[in-house]
A and B are shown apart, each in its own frame.
Chain A
Amino acid sequence: MDGRDRACRLLAGFLAGDLAPAEARQWDEHLLECEICWWAVREDRAGRQAVQVLRQPAPPGLADRVAFAVEVAAAGRTAALRCARPPARSSRRARSGGWLRWPQLAGAGAVAVAVLVTLMVVLLPDGHQARIMPPAVVAVADYAQAVPPPAGDQHPVSGGRAAPVEVGHPVTVTAGGQTIVLRTWRVGGTEAVVAVSSKPFPRPPQAQGVAGSGMAWSARLGRLSLYCLNGRTSELVAAPVRAADLAALAALLPLA
Chain B
Amino acid sequence: MGADHRLFLEATLPHLDAVYQVARQAAGGGQDPEDLVQETYLRAYAAFGSYRGGNARAWLAAICLNVARSQARRRRRRPWEVPGSGLLDVLPLSRADGGEGTVDVADLVIAGLDAEQVSRCLGRLPEPQRVCIVMVDVAGYTAREAAEALGCPRGTVLARVHRGRRRLAQLLAETGVAHGRP
Interface, chain A (partner B; CB < 8 A) = 5, 8-9, 11-13, 15-16, 18, 35-36, 39-40, 42-59, 62-63, 65-67, 69-71, 73-75, 77-78, 158-159, 161, 208-212, 247-248
Contact = CB atoms under 8 A, between A and B. Distances in A.
A127 to B, nearest CB: 30
Interface in B90-113: 100-101, 105-106, 108, 110, 113
A64 B113 CA distance: 33
Closest 8 CB pairs of A and B: A47-B165, A74-B5, A12-B162, A46-B169, A58-B20, A12-B158, A43-B166, A47-B168
B20 A46 contact: no
Given A51-B133, A73-B42, A211 B5 contact: yes
B59 interface: no
A43 B105 CA distance: 6
7 contacts: A12-B159, A36-B101, A42-B169, A48-B165, A69-B38, A70-B45, A74-B5
A210 B174 CA distance: 54
A12 B106 CA distance: 19
Interface of B: 1-6, 8-9, 13, 16-17, 20-21, 24-25, 32, 34-35, 37-38, 41-42, 45-46, 100-101, 105-106, 108, 110, 113-115, 118-119, 121-122, 133-134, 137-138, 143, 155, 158-159, 161-170, 172-173
A74 B45 contact: yes
Contact of A62 (B20, B105, B138): B20
B60 to A, nearest CB: 11
A136 B164 CA distance: 59
B16 to A, nearest CB: 5
A52 to B, nearest CB: 7
Contact of A51 (B2, B118, B163): B118
Contacts of B24: 54, 56
B16 A66 contact: yes
Nearest to B161: A12
A131 to B, nearest CB: 20
Contact of A46 (B8, B162, B172): B172
Nearest to A77: B1
B10 to A, nearest CB: 10
A69 B41 contact: yes
A9 B155 contact: yes
A43 B156 CA distance: 19
B165 A43 contact: yes
Contacts of A161: 32, 34
Contacts of B133: 47, 51
Given A49-B110, A51-B137, A44 B34 contact: no
Given A50-B169, A51-B133, A209-B1, A70 B41 contact: yes
A161 B143 CA distance: 34
